[in-house]
Structure 1
Amino acid sequence: MAIMIKGGTILSGGEKRENPGLFLKDGKIAGPAQAEPARILDAGGGYILPGLVDIHTHGALGRDFTEGTQTAFDTITRFAVRHGVTSQVATLFTMPMAQILRCIQFARGYRRHPQGAQILGLHLEGPFISPERCGAQASDAVLPIAPETYAPLLAQADAIRMITLSPHCAQAEQMVRAFCQRGVKVAGGHDDGYEPMIAKCFDTGMRHAVHLFCAMSSARFRQGEKVAGLTEMALLDDRVSVELIADRAHTTPALIALACKCKPADKVCLVSDMLSVGGLPPQEEPYSIRIPGVEKALEVEIGPRSAKLAGSNHNAGGITALDRMLRNMVEDGVPLEAAARMATENPALAIGARQKGRIEQGLDADICILDQDLQVRYTIIAGEVVYQKEV
C-alpha cells in the first residue's frame, strides 16, 4: 500500500520546509498527496528526512561485515534501521586478500533482510594503507600498492563502492586512476603523506577522505620545511569530501566547527565507523574482535563515547549511531538542516548514490521520521515501513 506522510517539517538539501503531504508509491517519492488509498503516518511536531546514509560502518551487536555471512549482514542492517539508517556501505577491515575476495563474493549475492538497511556496496578500508598509520587495523595484513597486488580487486570492482588507500605510497596515483576508471570512489586515509603526493592523488581522482583528524597525516617538518598532510590538504581542497565521526571522542566540537568552516556545505559527511561492539553493553573484560585471516584479535573496551584499544585511551572505532551524531551536531550549535544534510545527501553524493539522500519526486522512497527531540519514530525503505518506535 502507498504511504502518505502528513504534518511535520521536511529537512532536505540543507533546507527546511513545511510538509504539504508527502506521498510514497511503488518505492518512489511521488510528490504531494494523491487521491487513492494509503497508510497515513503522522509526523506532526517532528521532522521528515531522507533516510540516513552510513558510508563507513563495520558492524554492530557483536557481528562484523568481514564475516561475510547472512547472519552478520542481517544483524547489522536490522540494527541500523532502528537509528534511521536506510542505506549502508559495508566497510571491511584490512585482512588477507583471500578473505576480502570471499566477502566480495558474498556481498554480491546478499539478499537484503526485509527489515534491514540496504547495502550499497563495499568500502575496503585497506589493505593499501600505511603501516605507520594503521590505527586499530592489522599492520601484518597491509599490502604495498602495486598493479599486481590490487589487480584481484579491480576484477571485482562492480561490488566495491569505495576503497581507502594511503596517498603517500609509491604507486598511489596509478592505483587511484585505475579504480576511478572502473567507477570505484577512491578515498584517502590511514596515511603518512604530505603535500605533493597528496595533491597528485586529488588531481587524479581521489575525492574523499575518511575519518578526518583520525589516523591520517597532518602538518609536520620534512627536510627542514613545514609541509601539510592529508588533514590540511583535505580541508583545503573543495573537490574533496570528508568524514566526521561526531561522537565527541574522535572529533570534539571545536574540530567539527573547523571542518564545517573550511569545507563547502555539501562536502561534510557524518559516519559512524561503528565496530561490531556497537550496541553492546560495557563489560569488565575487553571484547575480542576477530577479523578473518588475522591472527591477533582486536581487544577493545567500551567507553562512554567510543571503543578504546584495551588498556589504553586510544580510540579503536565508533559505537555511536548516526541519529545520535545528528543530535550531537545540533546540541553543539550546527543548524539542524545542515546536520541533516551531512547524514543524508552528502554521504550519498560522496559515493555517487544519486537516488538517495534527498526528498524529491522520483527518488527512492527512503525516509526517516524524527520526533521533536530528534528521536527516530519511523524508518521507511522503498516505501515500506521497516521500523516503528514503540510508544
Structure 2
Amino acid sequence: MKPPIARYDDPDRLTHLPADMLIQYCNCQILRGKTWVDADLWVENGRIVNPEPICYVRKRLPDLRIDCCGNFIAPGYIDVQINGGFGVDFSSNGDALPENISKVAMELVKFGVTSFCPTIVSSSPEFYKNALEKMRCFKRHPMGANCLGLHLEGPFINKQKKGAHAERHFVNGFSEDGNNLENVYGSDLSHVCYITMAPELPFAMPIIRRLTSSGIKISLGHSTASITVGEEAVINGASCITHLFNAMLPFHHRDPGLVGLLTSARIPKGRTLFFGVISDGVHTHDAALRIAHRTHPDGLILVTDAVALLGLGDGTHRLGDMNIEVKNKRALIAGTETITGSISPLDYCVRHFQKAARCDSCEALDCASLHPAQFLGIDDRKGQLGFNCDADFLILNRNLNVLSTYIEVQFNVSRFWLCTIEKNSAVYRVSYWPERGDVPDLKQSSCCG
C-alpha cells in the first residue's frame, strides 16, 4: 500500500499526526555540501534521518509523503543578532524578557528564522542581573523559533564607537581580577551565547580567555582597536566581529583595524574568524558586501541587527521617546535623515545579499544558516541538513522566497497554512487562510509515486 501524499501548501487538511511519524519530503532539491542535490528529505522524531536503513533494514515505508512541488529545501535561518521586533525591544523590560522573546519567536518563523540569539545592548547592572535571572524561567513557545541564548552587546565597549548605545551604561575596562564582569552581569551566564566587547579595553585579553574557556563566544565590536590588538584578541579566543564596518575604525592601508582581520596571517591555523554583516541595503553598501564576501566568504554571517520596528510596516511609530518614520525599509527619526536601526527581516537580507555579492544561492543561504551555526558551535545539529541534524528547514522557491518553515517538524508556518503544535505526543495541523485570493491549485499532486 502506497503512503498518502500531500502537497506542502495544502490548506484543506485538518489532520492528527503522531509525533513519531516518518515523513518523506519529495519532488525537491536539497542544499547539501554547498550545492543543490536531487534527493528526498526524510524526517522522524524531529530529526533528519538516513532512509537507507529505514527502507532496507527496517523495511518501513514513510507514513506520509509531502510533495514540495519542485521547490528547494534549505536549512532554517539563524539570526545571531536581533534587538527585537514587532513592537518588542529586548533591552527595555527585563521582567518581561521571556515573554517578549516568545512573542518575537512566533513572528520570526514567518521569515524563515528557526533559531536566534536575542541581543541586549548596553544596560545597567540591575537590568542584566534581572534579565538573566528571568531567563532561568524561560521556556520555548511551542510554535516559535528556538532561542539559542542571549547576545550581550556591551557594556564593555568603546565610547568613541558607541553607535546607538547609551554611554551612561559603559564600563571602561575590566578590573585586573576580573570581578567587575560579575558585578555587571551577575554570576550566572548559563543563558549567554556570546558577548560583544572592545578588545582594546584594559585587561580584556584575560577576560576573553576566561569567558571562552567557559564556553561563551567573544565577538569584537564597538571598538577602535588596531589590527594588532584584534589579532591578539583572536589568538586569546575571540572568534567573531560584530556588524563588520559598523562601529569600528574604517579600513586604512597602514592599520586596517578590525576589518583587516579578514585577511590576517596571524589567525591560528584551523580557526575560522566569523563576522556579522547587515545586508539590508541601508547599513552596508553593496560594494562593501562584495569586498567582505570575496575576501573571506567562509566567515560571513548575515544578521539583521533588527530593532523593535521590524514588522510594524510603513508609517510613524513611537520608539522610546522618539517618533520614527518607517518607509522603504528605512527607519528614520521623524523629520530627519538619521537612521535608527535595521527593520529588514533575515529572508530579505539573504535575497539582497545574493544580488549584491553576485554569489550563488547556496553561498547566500550558508551565510544565514551554516556559518552562524559554526560560530556558535552547534553545526553538528543545526545549520545543515545532514543525517541526525534537527529538522529545522525551509521550503523556498527559486527566488529564495520562504514558502514554509519547519522547526523539528513540530510545526510548519507557510503562506497557506499554519501547521502543527506538539501536544501530548501528537502533532496537530491547523489550517488557516491569510490570503483568500492566493489559493493554489490543489487538484493534483505531482509527487513521484
Return the TM-score normalized by structure 2: 0.79
Match for 2:354 among 327, 330, 336?
330
2:283 is matched with 250
Pairing 1:178–2:210 present:
yes
1:345 is matched with 370
Q: Is the contact between residue 84 and residue 104 of structure 2 (CA under 8 Å) also seen in structure 1?
A: yes
Query: Which structure 1 residue ranges, 5 or more long, are not aligned?
Result: 290-296
Pairing 1:5–2:25 present:
yes
Tell me by how many angstroms 1:219 deviates: 3.6
Tell me by how many angstroms 1:27 deviates: 1.4
- Indicate how the Cα distance of structure 1 residues 120 and 320 shifts in structure 2: closer, same or farther if over 3 A, else same: same
User: Share of identical aligned residues, percent?
Assistant: 27
Match for 1:167 among 168, 174, 199?
199
Distance, in Å, in 2 between the alignment partners of 1:107 and 1:320 is 27
What is the aligned length? 377
2:70 is matched with 45
Query: Which structure 2 residue ranges, 5 or more long, are not aligned?
Result: 1-20, 417-438, 440-449
Match for 1:148 among 166, 179, 198?
179
Highest CA radius of gyration, 1 or 2? 2
Within 5 Å, give how 1:266-305 maps onto structure 2: 266-284=298-316, 287-289=318-320, 297=321, 300-305=324-329
Return the TM-score normalized by structure 1: 0.90
- Indicate how the Cα distance of structure 1 residues 193 and 309 shifts in structure 2: closer, same or farther if over 3 A, else same: farther
Within 5 Å, give how 1:1-391 maps onto structure 2: 1-19=21-39, 21-32=40-51, 35-66=60-91, 67-68=93-94, 69=96, 70-146=98-174, 147-152=178-183, 153=185, 155-219=187-251, 226-236=254-264, 239-263=272-296, 265-284=297-316, 287-289=318-320, 297=321, 300-332=324-356, 333-354=358-379, 355-390=381-416, 391=439
- Indicate how the Cα distance of structure 1 residues 98 and 39 shifts in structure 2: closer, same or farther if over 3 A, else same: farther
Report the 3-state secondary structure (helix = DSSP H, G, I; strand = E; otherwise coil) of the residue aligned with 1:157: coil
Tell me by how many angstroms 1:309 deviates: 4.7
Distance, in Å, in 1 between the alignment partners of 2:327 and 2:122 is 24
Task: Please give the root-mean-square deviation of Cα atoms over the aligned residues, in Å.
Answer: 2.1
Tell me by how many angstroms 1:386 deviates: 3.2
- Indicate how the Cα distance of structure 1 residues 154 and 38 shifts in structure 2: closer, same or farther if over 3 A, else same: farther
What are the superposed Cα offsets for residues 46-103 of structure 1, whole Å, 9 maximum, x if unpaired? 1101111111111111012233424311221011100111000111111101111221
Tell me by how many angstroms 1:112 deviates: 1.0
Report the 3-state secondary structure (helix = DSSP H, G, I; strand = E; otherwise coil) of the residue aligned with 1:190: coil
- Indicate how the Cα distance of structure 1 residues 331 and 3 shifts in structure 2: closer, same or farther if over 3 A, else same: same
Larger deviation, residues 147-156 vs 185-194: 147-156
- Indicate how the Cα distance of structure 1 residues 298 and 139 shifts in structure 2: closer, same or farther if over 3 A, else same: farther
What are the superposed Cα offsets for residues 284-324 of structure 1, whole Å, 9 maximum, x if unpaired? 4x5314xxxxxxx5664424234335554343321111111
Tell me by how many angstroms 1:154 deviates: 7.0
